[in-house]
Structure 1
Amino acid sequence: MFKKTLKALVVLLIAIALVACTTANNNNNPGNNNNGNEPKGGNTYDLTLWGSQEDQDLLAELVEDFKATDPDNTYNITLGVVGEPDAKDTVLADLDASADVFAFANDQIRDLVSAGALYEITLNKDEITAANMDGAIEAVTLDDKMYGYPFTADNGYFLYYNSEVITDEEAGSFEAIMDKAEAEGKKVYFDLSNGWYISSFFLGAGGKLELGEDGKQVLDWNNETGVKVGEYIREFAKSPAFITGADEILDAGINDGSIVAAVSGTWKADLVSAAYGEGYAATKLPTIDLDGEEVQLSSFAGYKVYGVNTVTKHPEQAMALAEFLSNEASQIKRFEQRKLGPSNLVAAESDAVKADVALNALAEQGIYAVSQKDVVGTYWTPAEAFGTEMENGSTADMQTLLDSMVEQIQQ
C-alpha cells in the first residue's frame, strides 16, 4: 500500500514539473504569444481631440509627446478638425458626439458652462493658475470655478512706435508720446470710436464692467472717476497729433511715416516692421496722467482655451491631456510653429517669444488686460457712439454723455 502511494505521488510530481516546463517554454517563446506582440499592461483610454485645421500637425506631434509621459497605459487619441470660432455651436449641437477635449475662444465660455458642456477643472488647479497670466485664468473662471486651460494670449492690442522718433522712455507715457509727435509734426493713431479700444481708459482707471445676476451689463463709467476719464479722452482727441479712422488710414500713415505710434495688434506686425525698419518697436500701452495720478491703460484680451467635455468617459485622462497641450513646453512649441502668443508666464518670458517684438509687447500688456467674457452685446454700440462724439470734438456736458452711454449699455 505504501509503495502504491509513493508511486502515485512520484507520478503527480512529474506531471506538475512537465506543466511548469511547458509554461516556462511558452513564456520564453514569442511565437506562442501573438508572434511577440504581447498586449501592453495598464488601461486603454479612447479620447477624441478637436482643434483648428492649422493646428493638426502640431497636435499630432503633441499627442505623441503626451503618450510618452504615461507609457504604462495605452491612449487611442483621435484628432478632429473644429476651429475655435466654431467650437461652441458644434459642441452644443450634439454634446454626446463632441470631442473629449476641444479648443474654443474664451468669449464662448459662459454659454458653454450654462449649457453644462464644460467639465470643471479639478486636477492641478493651483499649478495651472500659477503658471498662467492672471488675465488668462480670469478668462476661464466663473464663480470661482475653472472651466478651461488657456493656451494662447494673442488676441489683444498694445503700442507700436517708431523708435527713431519716439524714445523708449517716451513710449511709456501717452503725454510724452503726444508731445513728441506734435513737436515733430507727426501723428499718433488710436481708434476711439471702437468700443474694444476706448475701454482701455475706463478699465485702466478702475472702472467696473461686469455681468449682473439678470444677465445685463453693469458698469460705473459715469461716476466721478469716469467723468475725469471722459474729459481726458476729449482733450486727447483734440491734440493736433491725434489721428483715427479705418484700417486704410492707419496703413497709409504707417507706410508714409506720418504715423509714428499706433495702438493695434499682432495682425499689423508685418506692416509696421517693414515700414519702420530699424525703428520698429512695440511695448505695452502707455500710462496717462489722470488728474495728477499715473494710470496704466488696460485692454480687452482674448484667449484660446482647451475645454473638457462633461460627458467624457475618462475625465482625469482628458484633463491630463488638456493640461499637457497647454503647458509651458507645448506653448513654446506652438509659438515656434504657429507664432501664437503664450499665456504661460515662463513661455512668454522665453528668449524665442521675447525676440518677437509684437508678441513681447502683447505679453507685457497681458498683465493689465481683462477678458471679454463678461461683455454683452449691449455694450458695443453705445461705447462706440461715445467714442465717435469724442472724435468729432463734442463739447457736450461730459456727465450727460456718460450717463446716456451707461444707461443704454445697461438696458
Structure 2
Amino acid sequence: MKKKIVSLLLAASMVATLGACGSGSSSKDSSSSSAASSDSTAKADDPVQTLIKNTTGTVDLTLWCSETKEYQTVMKEIVDNFKKEYSDVDFNITIGSESEANTKDDLLKDVEAGADVFAFADDQTNELVKAGALQEVSTTYTYDPKETDTDGSLEAATIDGKVYAYPMTASNGYFLYYDKSVIPDEDAGSLDKILADCEKAGKTFGMEVSNAWYLYSFFKGAGLEATLNDDGKTTDCNWNATDTDPTGAQVAEAITAAAKSKAFKNLGNDDQMAAIKDGKMAACVNGTWSSQTVSDAWGKNLGAAKLPTFTVNGKQVQMGSFSGYKLIGVNAYSKQTGWAMLLAEYITNAENQMKIFKATGEGPANKEDQQSSDVTSSPAIAALNSQAEFASLQRVGANFWTPGNSLGQSLVEGKYSDAQKLLDEAVEGITAEVK
C-alpha cells in the first residue's frame, strides 16, 4: 500500500504543478511572480520536461508483453527508441515474456512485485481495477487516448467512467484461415465442406475446442449465452438450456459430430502453426497474431474469412465468437509511475501501433492507423471485420474457463453418454460463486 500511495502522490503532484502554472493570474501579486522567467514557465508547462526535471538516478522499469518472437522483437525496438527519445534519462528497462491471457492471474499473485507496465486482454480490466492493480490514466503526456483511439477500445479500458489502460490493438478475436489450393472459396463458409475437403486431400482442420474461448463460438452462434453478471465476478450461462431451438444438448452433440471427422484436430496455436508449416493442415480457427506464419506457408493460396456455419439438428448455424482488445496497463504500485505511464503511452501511440501491426498482424486501435492502406488491405483484418457482426465482447467471470475447457475436451473426445448431464455439470461450474 505504501508504494501505491507514493505513486499516486507523485502523479497528483505533477498534475498540481501543471495546474498551478496555468492559474497564477487570479492573484493581484501574480505579476511579480510571473516576471521571474517566461522560459522556465514554458518548460514547466510541458509535463514531459517536468518529469525529466524531477528525475534523479536510474529509472528501473519492467515491461511484460507477449512471449511470441514477433512481440518480443518489436517491443525491444520500441523500448530502444523510447530510450533514445528521452536520452537525458538513464533507463534500465527489462522486457519480460507474459501471455496477455495470463497477465491478471500472474500479476495479482504479488502486485507490488509485478511489472511496471504490462499488456493484457481487455476482459481482465474489471478485476484488475477492483484489485487496485491498475493506475488510472489521469495524466497524459504526448497524446490523449480519448481523442485518438476507437470508442470500442476506450470502452474496454474504462470502468465507471475512468480510463485505466491504453488501447494497443483492436483485433483480439478469431476467424477462419484456409488454404485455397485445398478449400475453394465457396466451401469456406461451411464447416461440413471444409472437413470434407480436408479429408479428401489428406489434410487437417485445427480448432482448440478444449479452450473455452473458442468453444464459445458454437454455443453463441446457436443463440445461447455466457455473460458477466452485474456483480462483475460471476457468469450467467444457459448452455444447458432445454427450451431453446436448438437446445444446448443439440449443440453439444453437433460439436462431437464435427470432431469425429478424421480431419478435425483439437490443437492450440503453436501446434496449429507447426502443422501448417509442415504442410499437414489446410484450415484453422485462429487470429491476426498468426497471419504472418500462415501467409509464409500458403502464400498466394492464403484465404481468410468469417467463421463457417456448422450443422445443428439438421440446420446450418453461423458460428459466433469473442471479440476484444489488447491494452497496456500501468501498475498502481510502480515506483516510477510517471515514467511507466509515459512508456505505456509511447508504446501505444499511432506510430508504434503501426509498428506492432506490421510485426504481428494485429490490427491497431488508433483511428487514423485503421484507415491506412496497410491495414485495410490485410486479409486477416478483413476476415475479422466480416466476423464482427457475429462477435461479442469477452465478458465472463473467472469460473468460466476451467469448466468450459473441460466441457470442450469432453465434447471433442465424445466419451459421454448423456449430453444434458454433461452440460448441467459444466454450467454449474461456470456459474458458481467466485471465491
- Same fold by TM-score greater than 0.5: yes
Aligned mate of 2:304, from 273, 279, 282: 282
In structure 2, C-alpha distance between the alignment counterparts of 1:170 and 1:239, rounded to whole Å: 16
Kindly provide the CA deviation profile for residues 76-102 of structure 1, in whole angstroms up to 9, marking residues without a partner as x.
79673354737935983179xx85xx3
Contact 1:132–1:345 (Cα < 8 Å) also in 2: yes
Change (3 A) 1:212 1:321: same
SS in structure 2 at match of 1:396: coil
2-structure distance, mates of 1:137, 1:164: 40
1:93 aligns with 2:116: no
SS of alignment partner, residue 215 of structure 1: coil
Deviation at 1:321, TM superposition (A): 7.5
Matched, 1:237 2:259: yes
Aligned to 1:330: 352
Trace 1:62-141 onto structure 2 (pairs within 5 A): 80-81=93-94, 83=96, 85=98, 88=107, 92-93=111-112, 102-106=117-121, 108-121=124-137, 127=147, 131-132=149-150, 134=152, 136-141=153-158
Confirm or deny that 1:187 pairs with 2:204.
yes
Provide the aligned C-alpha RMSD in A.
4.4
Q: State the 1:406 CA deviation.
A: 0.5
Are 1:91 and 1:117, in contact at CA under 8 Å, matched by a contact in 2?
no
Give how far 1:56 is off.
Answer: 4.5
Cα distance in 1, alignment partners of residues 346 and 255 from structure 2: 44
SS of match in other structure, 2:369: helix
Q: 1:163 aligns with which of 180, 188, 196?
A: 180
- Measure the CA separation in 1 of the matches of 2:269 and 2:168: 29
Matched, 1:45 2:61: no
Cα distance, 1:298 vs. partner?
0.5
Change (3 A) 1:280 1:295: closer
- Letter of the 1:304 partner, please give it: L
> TM-score normalised to the size of structure 1?
0.67
Would the alpha carbon gap of residues 266 and 301 (structure 1) be closer, same or farther in structure 2, given more than 3 Å must change? same
Partner of 1:299: 322
Change (3 A) 1:322 1:391: closer
Preserved contact between residue 83 and residue 91 of structure 2 (Cα < 8 Å): no
Q: CA, structure 1 residues 188+56, in 2 after alignment: closer, same or farther (shift >3 Å)? A: closer
| Change in 2 beyond 3 A, CA 1:295/1:392 | same
User: Contact 1:46/1:76 (CA < 8 Å) preserved in 2?
Assistant: no
* Residues 327, 373 of structure 1: alpha-carbon distance in 2 compared, 3 angstrom cutoff: farther
Q: Distance in 1 between matches of 2:360 and 2:92?
A: 18
Given the alignment of the two structures, is residue 381 of structure 1 paired with residue 386 of structure 2, yes or no? no
| Change in 2 beyond 3 A, CA 1:308/1:284 | farther
Q: Deviations over 1:242-273 (max 9, x none)?
A: 33357787467535645321123456555544
Q: Which runs of 5+ in 1 are unaligned?
A: 1-37, 68-74
User: What CA distance in whole angstroms lies between the structure 2 residues aligned with 1:148 and 1:199?
Assistant: 26
User: What SS is found at the alignment partner of 2:183?
Assistant: coil
Secondary structure of the equivalent of 1:201? helix
Other-structure match for 1:28: none
Where 1:41 maps in the other structure, the secondary structure is helix
Measured in 1, the distance between the counterparts of 2:289 and 2:367 equals 22
Q: What residue in structure 2 maps to residue 16 of structure 1?
A: none
Q: Distance in 1 between matches of 2:215 and 2:173?
A: 13
Say which SS state the counterpart of residue 261 (structure 1) adopts: strand
C-alpha distance in 2, partners of 1:337/1:254? Answer: 20
1:254 to 266, 272, 276: 276
For residues 188 and 333 of structure 1, do their structure 2 counterparts lie closer, same or farther at Cα, with a shift above 3 Å needed?
A: closer
Judging changes above 3 Å, is the alpha-carbon distance between structure 1 residues 357 and 182 closer, same or farther for their aligned structure 2 residues? same
Q: Secondary structure at the match of 1:281?
A: strand
1:142 is matched with which residue? Answer: 159
Quote the Cα distance in structure 2 between the aligned partners of 1:343 and 1:260. 30
Change beyond 3 A, Cα 1:83–1:156: farther
- 1:151 equivalenced with 2:151 (yes/no): no
Q: Is the 8 A contact 1:308 1:319 kept in 2?
A: no
> CA 1:153/1:248 → structure 2, altered by over 3 Å: closer, same or farther?
closer
Counterpart CA distance in 2 for 1:251 and 1:144 is 40
- SS of structure 1 residue aligned to 2:205: strand
Q: What is residue 216 of structure 1 aligned with on the other side?
A: 234
Pair 1:200-2:200 in alignment: no
Given the two structures, how large is their TM-score scaled by the length of structure 2?
A: 0.64
Q: 1:261 to 1:103 in 2, by over 3 A?
A: same
Code of the aligned partner of 2:356: R
How big is the shift at 1:148?
1.2
Q: Are the structure 2 counterparts of residues 403 and 142 from structure 1 closer, same or farther at C-alpha, using a change threshold of 3 Å?
A: farther
Letter in 2 for 1:105: F
Distance 1:119 1:310, change over 3 A: farther
Gaps of 5+ in 2: 1-38, 53-58, 65-71
Residue identity opposite 1:201 in structure 2:
F
Distance 1:112 1:76, change over 3 A: farther
CA contact 2:208–2:267 (8 Å) conserved in 1: yes
Deviations 1:158-190 (A, max 9, x none): 322111122234323334423444555543222
Query: Matched residue of 2:188: which SS?
Result: helix
CA deviations over 1:324-348 (Å, ceiling 9, x no partner) = 6434343113334666542335534
